[in-house]
């Protein structure tokens, strides 16, 4: 994999940090396409939704950048689910408060989908594709209205799925997790690393 041009199709600083910590050298070219969920004939469960979104992001950048050289593109997407309902990014801070009220005192799930598209140098075939998702359960302590308001007004809830970032000050309200912590941050880097090792150069 060392000789392949590697692109992360995401502007997320958290994903960038995790990929760098794993020792990868890569470029960042964020996918810009609108996130659209398509009915592919199977139930649109949270894991399938994040896998589809990750695939769309990776494909957008792969189609834009593919050439004769070896190319690997990583797309990823993260969502928060509560009782099967998806909590996306808040529309505004009032919406962020609404989401945190739903999450406080309860357990919920965080899903991150990952798509790896890889084409060896000179290959004329379509890219090899690997798509997977990871699920982590997050337990949140009960929160007062004052704590919810203080967290949201800090700005740390802005533009985050489920209106929180586990790596921010919200961490003081997380009583525990079941699964991969980095998956909640935005990228299951250990699983990604293991999968990347299996791919041809």
CATH number at residue 116: 3.90.950.10
Which one is catalytic: 77, 92, 149, 158? 77
Cα(192)–Cα(58) distance, integer angstroms: 14
pLDDT value at residue 76:
97
pLDDT value at residue 41:
62
pLDDT value at residue 124:
67
Instruction: Read off the pLDDT band of 3 (50, 70, 90).
Output: low
Instruction: Give residue-wise pLDDT tens across range 117-169.
Output: 998 877 666 788 999 999 999 999 999 999 999 999 999 999 899 999 999 99
pLDDT value at residue 2:
45
Instruction: Give residue-wise pLDDT tens across range 50-104.
Output: 999 999 999 999 999 888 788 999 999 999 999 989 998 999 999 999 999 999 9
Structural domain total, the chain:
1
pLDDT value at residue 4:
77
In the predicted structure, residue 106 carries a pLDDT above the cut 70: yes
pLDDT value at residue 121:
79
- Range of 129's domain? 5-198
Cα(120)–Cα(3) distance, integer angstroms: 9
Single pTM value for the model: 0.90
- 83 is annotated as an active-site residue: no
**Please, what is the angle between helix 93-103 and helix 145-153, to 10°?**
140
Q: What is the mean pLDDT of residues 33-60?
A: 83
Of 188 and 41, the structure prediction assigns the larger pLDDT to: 188
Type and span of the H or E element at 194: helix 189-198
pLDDT value at residue 36:
64
DSSP 29-66: ----S-------SS---HHHHHHHHHHHHHHHHHHHH-
pLDDT value at residue 67:
81
Short-list 38, 39, 192, 69, CA closest to 130: 192
pLDDT value at residue 18:
97
pLDDT value at residue 38:
63
């Amino acid at each position: 994999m060392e000789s392949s041009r590697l692109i992360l199709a995401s502007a997320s600083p958290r994903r960038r940090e995790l990929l760098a910590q794993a020792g990868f050298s890569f470029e960042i070219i964020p996918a810009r396409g609108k996130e659209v969920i398509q009915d592919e004939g199977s139930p649109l469960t949270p894991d399938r939704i994040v896998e589809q979104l990750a695939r769309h992001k990776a494909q957008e950048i792969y189609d834009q950048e593919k050439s004769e050289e070896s190319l690997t593109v990583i797309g990823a997407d993260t969502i928060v689910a509560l009782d099967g309902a998806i909590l996306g990014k808040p529309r505004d801070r009032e919406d962020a408060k609404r989401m945190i009220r739903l999450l406080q005192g309860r357990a919920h799930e965080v899903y991150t989908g990952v798509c790896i598209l890889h084409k060896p140098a000179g290959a004329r075939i379509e890219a090899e594709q690997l798509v997977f998702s990871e699920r982590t359960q997050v337990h949140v302590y009960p929160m007062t209205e004052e704590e919810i308001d203080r967290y949201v007004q800090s700005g740390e809830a802005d533009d985050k799925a489920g209106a929180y970032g586990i790596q921010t000050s919200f961490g003081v309200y997380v009583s525990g997790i079941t699964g991969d912590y980095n998956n909640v941050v935005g990228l299951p880097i250990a699983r990604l690393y293991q999968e990347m090792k299996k791919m041809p150069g």
